[in-house]
Structure 1
Amino acid sequence: MNTTPEHILGIVDALVSDENPARDEDTLDFQRCARLHNYLVAYAYMARNGTNTPNLDALASGSWFFNQPNENIEVIRARLDPSLNSFPDSIYDPTPGFFYWVSRLRMKLADESFPLEDNDFEDKERVVVIYDTSPYLGSHCLGVVYDQLNHRASFPLTIENTESIEPVAEHWDMWFPLETILTLWIHMLRMGKITADPRNERNLSNEEATSRHQIGLWCWHP
């Protein structure tokens, strides 16, 4: 991957804003999404290791999604839109515990979880789980799902939550460009709503432990 720590951390021009909106095209802006994703991977690495600069060799050596039989990966990738297929090739595979709500890169074919949606593709999946929900947040987990027909993403934590996002046409306000969701997560870090703390909860003061909810590295501050 041809990049530098400065490029990964210099993320301002990739964040979605009124002045820099998400691209409204019939495709995934995988390059922009990859930059936002890689920033979060680098942020977690620096927090875990107490450094101000990510070690790109260490990030590149991590492999969880790709650490499975090639035939499994080939089945998944054969059913992905070309732009979504380019996304895993452009990112660092995150250590499980990618962010507060999500565990890892999943790329799971998920049409069976969305029975109300028609799939008019002959050979592609309509819905793909890009990141799966952290198992610490409940059972029947789902995650960040991507609709390959409309090129929009939503985030039902569990299968039961899909009733708030489908049928897609009736819940369009719950579907966003993937870069919008990733930007929101980065803004939460910058606001201090979510922080990264590698300490074990038993090493926290009582005040710290009661003022936040921690899942692995990530802390939610109410």
Structure 2
Amino acid sequence: MDFSNLPSVSDQLVTADKPARTDLPGMDHARCAALNNYLVSYAWLAEGRPPASLHGNNNTFFTAHGAEAEALRPRLDPSLAAFLDTAMLPPADAGLDPAPFFFWASEISSPDGFFDN
């Protein structure tokens, strides 16, 4: 596996020297999106999928789900909407199941299940 194409997230990790931000209303959507995008990329490559599919991938919650997702936007905290605007979803390659995202989370919910528990 060649992970040289992974985005760098070392500047986004929460550490003693770089604590979680407290100056923002809501979530730190930029940091969370960077970490999400790293995990999506890592899972994609770990599955042996073509790295070229990630280049130019602009698949996000709002681009993937269109009007159905946009209808939810007024109900979302602005920081969550900003995260969903920039958090990458795996490329929609025909015939492939989505690459696993994380052990406890498989993906960002679709609009029809967004507010389900």
Deviation at 1:82, TM superposition (A): 1.5
TM-score when normalising by structure 2: 0.69
The question of 1:16 aligning with 2:14 is answered yes
What whole-Å deviation, never above 9, does each CA across 1:189-217 have from its counterpart, x for those lacking one?
xxxxxxxxxxxxxxxxxxxxxxxxxxxxx
Partner of 1:80: 76
Give the Cα separation in 1 of the matches to 2:47 and 2:105.
17
Alignment check: 8 A CA contact 2:60 2:84 kept: no
Alignment check: 8 A CA contact 1:64 1:93 kept: yes
Alignment check: 8 A CA contact 1:65 1:105 kept: no
Partner of 2:93: none
The question of 1:105 aligning with 2:108 is answered yes
Structure 2: which 5+ residue stretches go unaligned? 91-97
What one-letter code is carried by the residue in structure 2 that aligns with 1:56? H
What one-letter code is carried by the residue in structure 2 that aligns with 1:85? A
Identify if the C-alpha distance between structure 1 residues 64 and 73 changes in structure 2 by more than 3 Å, giving closer, same or farther: closer
Stretches of 4+ moved more than 4 A in 1? 50-54, 61-66
Structure 1: which 5+ residue stretches go unaligned? 111-141, 143-222
Kindly, what percent of the aligned residue pairs are identical?
A: 33
Q: What secondary structure, in the 3-state scheme, does the structure 1 residue paired with 2:36 have?
A: helix
In terms of Rg, which structure is larger? 1
Q: After superposition, where does 1:67-216 map in structure 2 within 5 Å?
A: 67-68=64-65, 70=67, 72-94=68-90, 95=98, 97-106=100-109, 108-109=114-115, 142=117
Partner of 2:94: none
Identify if the C-alpha distance between structure 1 residues 62 and 84 changes in structure 2 by more than 3 Å, giving closer, same or farther: closer
Alignment check: 8 A CA contact 1:46 1:54 kept: no
Q: Which has the higher contact order (CA 8 A, sep 6+)?
A: 2
What one-letter code is carried by the residue in structure 2 that aligns with 1:109? F
TM-score when normalising by structure 1: 0.39
Query: How much is the aligned-residue C-alpha RMSD, in angstroms?
Result: 3.0
- Number of residue pairs the alignment of both structures matches: 103
